[in-house]
Chains A and B, each alone.
Chain A
Amino acid sequence: MTASHDTFSEKMADAAIRATPEPLAVRVRGLSDRAIAWLFIAPTIVLLLAINIFPLFWAIYLSFTNFRANRPNAVVQNVGLGNYSRILNDPDIWASMQTTAHFVFWTIVLQTLIGFALAYLIDRKFRGHAFWTTLILIPMMLSPAVVGNFWRFLYEPQIGLFAYAVSFVSGIPTSDIQMLGNVHLAPWAIIIVDTWMWTPYVMLICLAGLRSIPDYIYEAAEVDRASPWRQFWSITVPMALPFIMLAVLFRGIENFKMFDMVNLLTGGGPGSTTEVASIALKRDAFEAWATGRSSAFAIVLFVAVFGLANIYVKALNKVKQR
């Protein structure tokens, strides 16, 4: 069937070529498959080179110079590994990396736990589960700029609903509940907002994992009199694990470069308490205009994310192969 179909296609193609005016047909006939393939993908490759690859190599070049974008007329000097050495020995940069690590770790832990729990509940298909699924998904559909702004109001000590809710439960006066102005609470304020916004995303991926587990496996386990607890740990978790790991990978990469929400909520403050790496990078690049140094910082971040993601993907593949 397939062979005859192919023959038919070839006949049709030959007919089309014959019907094409001679000079054009000759030109098309003169192109090899490989040439036609290149013709089709060339625009994409040119765009990719212009938008992704060239800036990357340009940033690598700049990272070895003292170039400053705000001094276009200044002489650009090669500083060798000076920018890298300065970055890797700068305690402020390390502090921002620690802040980023704290943020990434806790958001991933909370989002995975809550997201999986929600997916598990939704997967029970109780009455009205479709409505609840839609409701839960709303936060991730909002713009981070909107989320950042309205949570800033929610956290307001004097007028914010969050402060009122905490005050109602704990009895602490609202004026003492300063989520964004308190050094100890500000990092958690951002973690709460990110968890609120992105847990539904983790839930969706986990839900896909749970729904991919065939029912007959559970039926077989029940025949073997396996308890629900045993079924959960021996069937549900291992089979959903690749999906959970995928969600962790996506959220990890996203949160490693988190900028907008932190910028809107705290601007990196109080002090430098919530100054994650991307905020520090933005300040260096577009406020201090240290273009060369910030390029080096960007390359360090890129290598860190790329390296960690690669290690993680290898682990993910191993889990999938089990």
Chain B
Amino acid sequence: MLKTWRPLLGAAVVCGSLGGALAVPQAAQAEQLTLCWAAWDPANALVELSKDFTAKTKIDMKFEFVPWTSYADRFLNELNSQGKLCDLIIGDSQWVGGSAENGHYVKLNDFFAKEGIKMDDFVPATVVGYSEWPKNTPNYWALPAMGDVVGWTYRKDWFEKPELQKEFKAKYGWDLAAPKTYDQLKQIAEFFQKRQIDGKTVYGASIYTERGSEGITMGVTNVLYDWGFMYENPKKPYEMQGYVNSPDAVKGLEFYKSLYDCCTPPGASNVYMVESADAFKSGQVAMQMNFAFTWPGLYKDEKVGGNRIGFFPNPAEKYHFAQLGGQGISVVSYSDKKGAALQYIKWFAQPDVQAKWWQLGGFSCLKAVVDAPGFKTSQPYAPAFLESMAIVKDFWAEPSYAELLQAMQKRVHDYVIAGKGTAKEALDGLVKDWTEVFKDDGKI
């Protein structure tokens, strides 16, 4: 019996060995990179864009996208546990400090120098916001990937209704149009609040009020910056007394609460990007605060898009700023495929790839794309995006950013939404919390 099987067994061993030998080069060819990011519209555009990379390099791209509400939890856990899930990560701008100091990201200076990738070719605010740590030093941990900023959309079709324009002019003495200041924005919001339009009750504005992650902070800072809030003494780092809780900052916080109280839809106590976009898409609100990444989708929307929608940057007040969003793309230092990951970054930095990125719905940070003559007219939201990117300011990017963010979420939500205490008490409390965090870090 055994004798009968011996030749077959031998043949099987030979075939197996041959198969194994042939499979080795195939496995090497079928290299795969995993890119981690948030699950949102630009991620779909990146999937489309990355097909060109695969076609060119034969490196397959796998994507790990997580909804925004669990994005930070999921990926910071992954990085902190030194996991190998992500070879490339498009991490939030505030993560850069912690990820650099804790060794999660590969430092890219040598790679940029070798490949001729110059940070001067990118919009300066995005380089500082997404790539540098410490800030304003030439230490790069990411390539600016997705420019984003908080701005506003409005119902152009409602604003253009002659009867509303007439009534508005009579009431406020100026023409109903996209607001330039927050005082104007509030007047418009009050005007639309609980108004009947096309047989439906509509409301003034949708603003960020979310408690769980970063929502209300990303909303309120747009107002606070404009009123004069500063994170610290520009001449003495980490000195916050009188800057975070300055009288102007207090007025700004009071304004945000007044806007929430007077002019938001009922039940808008936990609103972030998705809820705000939904309020706009369902025709509930006249204006909507949201990150620019939502604009392409809203412009394409059948009910509120096209000629019905307009875009404007964050209004001014005493100063003129807007909250920076967006992310840079980094190579995870725990990846076993750092070479291929760097190859992806090199490919992504190319001007023609960046131009296609913008066409597909991503927001390029490359000057060659955004400064191109036809950029402003390439999309109806392009001018508002450009104007906004010129006035950006970001939250702390310290390694303790999560704790700093959590303190602000609590203090601001307690005051604005729950009506607990005064604006002064909220900001005084914030100075106390942040001072404690920096003391724990040994920075003061």
Q: Give residues in A with beta carbon < 8 Å to B.
A: 66, 69-73, 92, 155-158, 174-176, 178, 180-181, 183, 263, 266-273, 283, 286-290
Q: Which A residues touch B201, using CB under 8 A? A: 175
A70 touches B211 (CB 8 A): no
Name the distance in Å between A265's Cβ and chain B's nearest Cβ. Answer: 10
Contact among B266, B270, B415 for A269, CB-based, below 8 A: B270
Number of A-B contacts (CB under 8 A): 99
Residues of A within 8 A of B420 (CB): 183, 271-272
Check B102 against A270 for contact (C-beta < 8 Å). no
Interface 1/0 per residue, B385-407 and A, CB below 8 Å: 00000000000000100110110
Which residues of chain A are near B399, meaning CB under 8 Å? Answer: 70-71
* Closest beta carbon of chain A to B245's beta carbon, Å: 19
**Is the beta-carbon distance between B418 and A273 smaller than 8 angstroms?**
yes
Q: In the complex, which residues 195-221 of chain B have their Cβ closer than 8 Å to any Cβ of chain A?
A: 201, 210-212
Shortest CB–CB separation between residue B26 and chain A, in angstroms?
37
Question: Which residue, of B82, B410, B415, B419, has the highest number of chain A Cβ atoms within 10 A?
Answer: B410
Q: Is the CB of A269 within 8 A of B417?
A: yes
Q: Decide if B440 is an interface residue (CB 8 Å cutoff).
A: yes
Asked if B252 CB lies within 8 Å of chain A CBs, one says: no
Which B residues, 267 to 305, have Cβ-Cβ distances below 8 Å to chain A? Answer: 267-270, 284
Residue of A nearest to B203 (CB): A175
Say yes or no: B80 contacts A70, CB within 8 Å.
Answer: yes
Which residues of chain B have C-beta atoms less than 8 A from A290's C-beta? 403
The 5 closest A-B pairs by CB, nearest first: A271-B418, A181-B269, A271-B414, A157-B266, A267-B212
A289 touches B403 (CB 8 A): yes
Contacting residues, chain A, for B267 (C-beta < 8 A): 155-158, 178, 180-181
Which residues of B pack against A, CB within 8 Å? 72-73, 76-77, 80, 82, 98, 101-103, 201, 210-212, 265-270, 284, 399, 402-403, 405-406, 410, 413-415, 417-420, 440
Query: How far apart sit A205 and B88, CA to CA, in the bound complex (Å)?
Result: 53
What separation, in Å, do the CA atoms of A289 and B405 have in the docked complex? 12
Question: Do the beta carbons of B266 and A158 come within 8 Å of each other?
Answer: yes
Interchain CB contact under 8 A, A66 and B440: yes
Nearest chain B residue, comparing its CB with the CB of A291: B80
Please tell me which one of the listed residues A73, A155, A174, A270 contacts residue B413 in the complex, with CB atoms under 8 A apart: A270
Could you tell me if B417 and A271 are in contact, using CB atoms closer than 8 angstroms? yes
Nearest CB in chain B: distance from A156 CB, A: 6
B406, A287: Cβ atoms closer than 8 Å: yes
Q: Are A176 and B266 in contact (CB under 8 A)?
A: yes
Minimal beta-carbon separation of B153 from chain A (angstroms): 20
Closest residue on chain A to residue B421 by CB atoms: A271
The interface residues of chain B lying within 8 Å CB-to-CB of A158 are 265-267, 284
Cα–Cα, bound, A72→B73 (Å): 16
Contacts of A271 in B (CB 8 A): 211, 410, 413-415, 417-420
A272 contact from B212, B268, B410, B440, Cβ within 8 A: B410
Q: Does B413 lie within 8 Å of A181, measured CB to CB?
A: no
- For this complex, 20 residue pairs linking A to B, each with C-beta atoms less than 8 Å apart, are A70-B76, A70-B402, A71-B399, A156-B267, A157-B266, A157-B267, A158-B284, A174-B266, A178-B269, A180-B269, A181-B268, A183-B420, A266-B211, A269-B269, A269-B417, A273-B418, A287-B402, A288-B402, A289-B402, A289-B403
Q: A70-B399, A271-B417 are in contact. List 10 more A-B contacts (CB 8 A).
A: A69-B80, A71-B98, A71-B399, A72-B102, A175-B266, A180-B270, A267-B211, A269-B413, A270-B413, A287-B72
Taking a contact as CB atoms under 8 Å apart, the answer to whether A70 and B98 are in contact is yes
Per the bound structure, the CA–CA distance linking A282 and B237 in Å amounts to: 30
Cβ–Cβ < 8 Å partners of A263 in chain B: 212
- Docked Cα-Cα span, A271 to B270, in Å, equals 10
Q: Closest B-chain residue to A74, C-beta based?
A: B102
Chain B residues closer than 8 Å to A71, beta-carbon distance: 98, 101-102, 399
A264 to B417, CA, bound (A): 18
In the assembled complex, which residues on chain B have CB atoms less than 8 Å from the CB atom of A268?
A: 211-212
Q: Is B402's CB under 8 angstroms from A181's CB?
A: no
For the complex, give the distance between the alpha carbons of A248 and B80 in Å.
Answer: 40
List residues of chain B with CB within 8 A of the CB of A269.
211-212, 269-270, 413, 417-418
B209 to chain A, nearest CB (A): 9
CB pair A288–B406 under 8 Å, yes or no, is yes
B32 to chain A, nearest CB (A): 27
Report the minimum CB–CB distance from A38 to chain B (whole Å): 35
Residues in chain B near residue A267, CB distance under 8 A: 210-212, 270
For the complex, what is the distance from the CA of A71 to the CA of B265, rounded to whole Å? 41
Contact of B103 among A73, A272, A273 (CB under 8 A): A73
Q: Give the docked Cα–Cα distance between A69 and B267 (Å).
A: 36
CA distance A157 to B399 in the complex (A): 40
Minimal Cβ-Cβ distance residue in B for A179: B267
Does B270 lie within 8 Å of A266, measured CB to CB?
A: yes
User: Are the C-beta atoms of A283 and B406 separated by less than 8 Å?
Assistant: yes
Q: Kindly report which residue of chain A lies nearest to residue B72, judged by CB atoms.
A: A287
Which chain A residue lies CB-closest to B211? A269
Query: Residue B403 contacts which of A155, A270, A288 (CB distance < 8 angstroms)?
Result: A288
The answer to whether A286 touches B269 (Cβ under 8 A) is no
A167–B420 alpha-carbon span in the complex (Å): 28
CB pair B269–A70 under 8 Å, yes or no, is: no
Q: Which one of A72, A157, A270, A286 lies within 8 Å of B417 (CB-CB)?
A: A270
